[in-house]
Amino acid sequence: MEATTVDPFGGGTLLITPENNVIGWEQSLSGYTVPKVEEIAIEKPKLPVVSFILLILAAILLILPGKKYKNAAVIFAGIALCAYPFLRFSLNIGLINQWKPSVERSTKIIDGLLTNVYRSFDYRNEEAVYDRLAISVMGDQLTQTYIEQRKGLEIENRGGASAKVDDVDVFKIHNVYARENNDYGIETSWTINGSVSHFGHMHYRQNRYRAIIWITPYEGNWKIREMEIMEETRLL
């Protein structure tokens, strides 16, 4: 009979017989650690508060009579313009903090959340997988993501097959939508590159997806609430 050894970098197949019934192999995991799954924090927008205050003061001075006030208003306005790109601060104001994320920020959010989802499956313990998924996914989508991604990554368990995602590439944000409950739908396309090891061989895989991923702010972090897959294509 055949026995297969598998690790994140590959695997091998050994022939086991009654006479040769001892398995020996050399591990290749020195220094290897399972990638961390970390929360994706909400970044509060930084506003040019100093410039706003100076412009308000300049507007007030312009109303006042006297040349000296007009000159001071010009000086304040000039300082405000110079400070605008540099003196910015985050404010803990609910309405401001819930602004729709930009395309650039959406790319970082989705890349981080999707990477977390796939990295969660680097763990072999089912409870550990679920707990790490819960860092980035919430509600009914948590269970659904767990089941669907398991199906998407697994192949028949012949020879101890193991699937691993190596890289996630969010290459386009098509649109960003907003709901009244502060959820944001990010229509995006991404590819995953990975490998499947079985019978001592490694096969590379590349899939492309397009979906609307609804994210929601929860306790200072972003989480996936819903995922609507629009397109799934096997590239390799």
Q: What is the CATH number of the domain that holds 213?
A: 3.10.450
The pLDDT value given to residue 37: 86
**Are 141 and 213 in a shared domain?**
yes
Q: Based on the structure, what is the number of domains in the chain?
A: 2
Its domain, for residue 111, covers 101-234
Weakest-pLDDT range from 39-53, 84-98, 117-131: 84-98
Percent of the chain with pLDDT over 90: 25
Distance from C-alpha of 47 to C-alpha of 150, rounded to nearest angstrom: 42
Task: Note whether 106 and 70 are same-domain residues.
Answer: no
Query: Do 86 and 171 lie in a common domain?
Result: no
Does the pLDDT of residue 1 top 90, yes or no? no
Please give the pLDDT value at position 145: 74
Indicate whether 107 and 194 sit together in one domain.
yes
The predicted structure's pLDDT at residue 185: 95
Contact status, residue 191 vs residue 165, Cβ threshold 8 Å:
no
Can you tell me the distance from the alpha carbon of 49 to that of 11, in angstroms, rounded to the nearest whole number?
57
Asked if 105 and 202 sit in the same domain, the reply is: yes
- The predicted pLDDT at position 95 comes to 47
Res 153 pLDDT > 60: no
pTM of this structure: 0.67
Task: Report pLDDT digits (tens) over 37-84.
Answer: 889 988 776 778 788 888 898 888 888 888 888 888 888 888 888 888
Residue 24 scores a pLDDT above 80: no
Lowest mean pLDDT across 8-17, 117-126, 141-150: 8-17
